[in-house]
Structure formats: structure tokens, C-alpha cells
Amino acid sequence: MEIMSNLFSQKIIILDFGSQYTQLIARRVRELGVYSEIKAWDARIDASLISDASGIILSGGPESVTDGANAPKIPEILFSYKIPILGICYGMQAIAKFFGGEVQSSSKREFGYARLKKVNESLLLEGVADHRSEGNEEFLDVWMSHGDKVVRIPEGFSCIASTKSCPIAAFSNEQKSIYGLQFHPEVTHTKQGSSILKRFVRDICECDEVWTSDAIIEDQINRVRELVGAKSVLLGLSGGVDSSVVAALLNKAIGNKLTCVFVDNGLLRKDEGDMVMQMFADNMGIKVVRANAQEEFLEALKGVKDPEKKRKIIGQTFIEVFERESKNIGDIEFLAQGTIYPDVIESAGAETGKAHVIKSHHNVGGLPSEMKLRLVEPLKELFKDEVRKIGLTLGLPKQMVFRHPFPGPGLGVRILGEVKKEYADILREADAIFIEELHRSGWYEKTSQAFAVFLPVKSVGVVGDARRYEWVIALRAVETIDFMTARSAPLPHDLLETVSNRIINEISEVSRVTYDISSKPPSTIEWD
């Protein structure tokens, strides 16, 4: 267990004050090879948590420290240990307030690039600069997003950098290793952001680079073996990134003690079932049970038009199929899930009742209680980009690891109204053409999610001399970071034309193709 203790023995705690960038801070720290963990500012922060940390970063946040008792505060215990602390934006203002400095509230926000001038020596910004003047003054291009600012430095601190509109843009107390930055080093717009975080994490907190894909895989393999012993594990394999990476990881850890169940519900993309079976069963030698349940799902969905009802029926049928298959397999004690770190953080945030701080996560769950399975969740500490890196290290092909997400109810929410096999077959073909052309044109990687939607309306067309009265297909492609907000992807017109021509020429049941240009909000990404 040597690796295991090394991996987590040095960690950076990120105290979250509700910034939209908190997860980004945690990811940046991990990119530097150091484990990071997010805690809500009002979570139970005890002595063992703090004393185990190599450093603490205080995030930004939407509140104002000038709001008196209502303002989120830094737990006093943080300053009882001699651990380096870096406050970003709200975090800096909260440090100023805690040590008796002054913060001025303002409803006028400063948002965007600023030129930062170093005004004093500091370990944090040492050797980090974008520009130098002839007089050897050093400057950095940084990204600002704030209203309030520090206007009087607390005793024991000194100003280390200024901008025109924010004279105290960074401060430090070198003796206590406490630092504050008004700008955001975690966003890529701050050119030297990674270097600044590296100064903090690697030089000031003295953390080593141990958080790497190989080390994480080795650690997880050891942990899974220890937890599972000689017992058997079941994994619901969907063909998505997370469950695929869990399959590859568990296969390495416990080999034939793992059985995967892949449910073909008739609502999958073209060739998806064969692709999953080929990759996992044929190439990787993983035990995969393919449950052919197409008719069962279509039968359950017969005559149902309401989107919510369709979702519920699909979810319920999944459970029935899954339960049946697991009983057939027998002797299963563990259930593996592809839960990833953002799911865990969001659930923890929801417990504190600060709904605006982190949204609540709704886990799919819904397993029958009599199964009494224990959970194995080897990706629970990882962000999506880390999961992808691990997938590649484990030998999963790139096209699988960088696939767009696909919703659990599948084509069931992309066929508006009643779901019929005939519609699903048409949609599968249209979707495959769209995705193929996106790959061919290099647009697949530039979009976050893209798919076709079946509209149950008929429209007139002319093909050759013949009149055609057939179905309509809508195309949807979006750009998004977190899938909470999204913008329609600006696909080139000639690409859309190629896709439209191919769909209408190759699928005789389609006479018209449209492109969805709505944003989320107010529209959602899926149509149903």
C-alpha cells in the first residue's frame, strides 16, 4: 500500500465559497500532480482535515464580505496550523477581513483582462512574468472578475501587485505563508495562472508530483482488490466513458470476478451494441452479458407520448432487466458504479443546505433494495478529464474515451411523442450520418454533444419527379462546459447542407432536415 499512502499523503484543500470556478481550481492543482479535495466553507472542518493538508486554497464566491453576519466566513481553525493559504478573489477579501483589513463593496464589476504590476517581492510571484519594462519592472496579464476589493491591507501583510483600477490586487504575509490574489489564476485567460498555482502548490506547500494516471490506476487496483477479495462484482455497462473506464479498471484488478451487463433496449445508436460487445468481450476478454430487451422496452413504451412518463418507463424497465440478469448470474456481492468526483461534491454541497453554492446531484440509483449489493466506485475521486486520461492509459480507444455523452433513456428522448421501432431505425441512420460527417469535417471534437432528433410530423418534398410526403429530422449540436448552459454550435452551412442531402437521399422516409439554433436556457439540450 506504499503507493496509496503516497498518493493522498499530500493534499490541497479547496474551501468553496460558491465560485463557478471552484472545480477548475481543484483540476488545475491535480494537473500539477497533487491531489486536491473540495470542501464547502460551512462543512465540518475539523483539526484532522486541516492538519493533514499541505495547503489550503480559498475560492472566490458570489457574496460580499461586507454583508456582516450573512457573509460566508473562513473557519478560524484554518489559521491555527502553520499551513500555507492562498485566497482567490472572495477568498482574498475574506482573509483581509479576518486579519483586520478593509474591503470596499461595489456594485460595479471589473470583468476581463488587466495588466498587473509587481510592486514587492513575494515567493508566490517569484520568477513569474509576462512582460518586463526597460526599468526591469515586471508585469502579468491577468483575468479579473470582481465587484468588491481590498482597500486597506491588514497588519503584517504587504501589497505585492497592483492594477490601475485595483491598487491592492495581490498581497502576502510571507512569514505566515498566507497569500491573496484578486484575479483568477485558475482560468486560462490568466496566462501565467498555472505557473502561479505551481509556485503555491509545489514550492510554497512543497508538494511532490505524485498524482499521475499510472499511480492512480495502481492505487485503485490495490484498493478494489482489498475491498472485493474473492467476491464477484456486477457492472452495468452502457458504452459511455465512465462505465467503460470502470470496466477496464476492474478487469485489470479482478479479471473474471467481474461480470458486465449491457442492456440493448432498442434505443441505442447505430451499431452501439455490437461495438460495445466487440470492444469489451472480444478484444478485452471481459465477461459481458448482452441482454436483448428491445421488444420489452418498445412494448412498455407503446402508446406513451409524455416525455416524463417515457423516462420513468425506460428507467423502470432497465431495473427489471438488470435485476433479472443479476439473478441469472447469481453470487454477486458488489455493484460497480461510474460515480465521478463532481457527483460526490454536488451531493455533499446539497447536504449543507446552501443550494446556491453547489447544485444538488440526483444519482440514477434506483436499485432494488433486496439486492443488498455493496458499492464499488473506483472513479469517485476523479474529474471527467482524469477519467479520460485513465481510460487512455488503460488502453481504451480514443474514439470511445472522447465520445459525446448519451442520455440513459437513449433515443427514447430523441423521438418526440410515441416511440416506435420504425422511428428508432430512421433516427439511428440519420444520427449516424450526422456524426460521420462531423468526424469527417473535424467538428466532432469542437462540439460537446451532437445528435439527430426524430420529429413525428410529415412534410412535402420532391425527389426526382416524385412527390414525397415524409418525416422531418432535426439536427442539434451544442458547445458547453458543464451542460447546464449551452450554445448551438456554429456549424458551417456547407457541412449542414451535406448532412441534409445525405440524410434525405439515403433515408427514403425523410423529406426534410432542420438545424436547431436554440440556446440553453431557455431551451434544453435534448428535445424531450
Residues that bind ligand XMP (CB under 6 A): 311, 405, 407-409, 413, 449, 483, 520, 524-526
Q: Which of 317, 359, 363, 321 is nearest to 340 (CA)?
A: 363
Nearer Cβ to ligand XMP, position 248 or 450? Answer: 450
User: Is 186 a residue of the active site?
Assistant: yes
Beta strands in 265-369 (DSSP E): 287-292, 332-336
Which of 37, 63, 186, 381 is the catalytic position?
186
C-beta of 46: minimal distance to ligand XMP in Å?
Answer: 36
User: Which CB contacts under 8 angstroms, 24+ apart, belong to 199-203?
Assistant: 199/123, 199/124, 199/125, 199/126, 199/127, 199/128, 200/55, 200/57, 200/84, 200/86, 200/124, 201/12, 201/29, 201/32, 201/34, 201/55, 202/32, 202/34, 203/123
| String of DSSP letters for 35-58 | EEEEEETTS---HHHHHT-SEEEE
DSSP β-ladder status, 149-152 and 138-146: unpaired
Q: How far is the CB of 364 from ligand XMP (least distance, A)?
A: 7
Instruction: Give 447 or 449: the residue with its C-beta nearer to ligand XMP.
Output: 449
Active site residue 166: no
Question: Beta 138-146 vs 110-118: how paired, if at all?
Answer: antiparallel
- Could you tell me the smallest distance in angstroms from the CB atom of residue 438 to ligand XMP? 16
Nearest approach, Cβ of 187 to ligand XMP (angstroms)?
23
Indicate the residue among 89 and 336 with the shorter CB distance to ligand XMP.
336
Nearer to ligand XMP, 61 or 410 (CB): 410
CB 177 within 8 A of CB 85: yes
Residue 104, all three cell numbers: 470596499
- Which of 89, 205, 207, 260 is an active site residue? 89
- Are residues 8 and 216 in contact, defined by beta-carbon separation less than 8 angstroms? no
Q: Which of 37, 146, 184, 429 is catalytic?
A: 184
DSSP conformation letters of 361-401: P-------GGG-PEEE-TTTT--HHHHHHHHHHTT--HHHH
When the beta carbons of 258 and 525 are compared against ligand XMP, the nearer one is 525
Q: Are strands 232-236 and 258-264 parallel, antiparallel or unpaired?
A: parallel
User: Which is nearer to ligand XMP, 30 or 388 (by Cβ)?
Assistant: 388
**Min dist. Cβ of residue 245 to ligand XMP (A):** 17
Q: How far is the CB of 490 from ligand XMP (least distance, A)?
A: 19
Q: Which is it for strands 466-479 and 449-463: parallel, antiparallel or unpaired?
A: antiparallel
Q: For residues 427 and 324, what is the distance between their CA atoms, to the nearest angstrom? A: 29
362 is catalytic: no
Smaller CB separation from ligand XMP, 127 or 405: 405
Q: Would you state the cell numbers that stand for residue 375, as one nine-digit string?
A: 458499492
The least distance separating ligand XMP from the CB of residue 171, rounded to whole angstroms, comes to: 41
User: HEC string of 399-465?
Assistant: HHHCCCCCCCCHHHHCECCCCCHHHHHHHHHHHHHHHHHHHHHCCCCCCCEEEEEEEEEEEEEEECC
Q: Which residues are catalytic?
A: 89, 184, 186
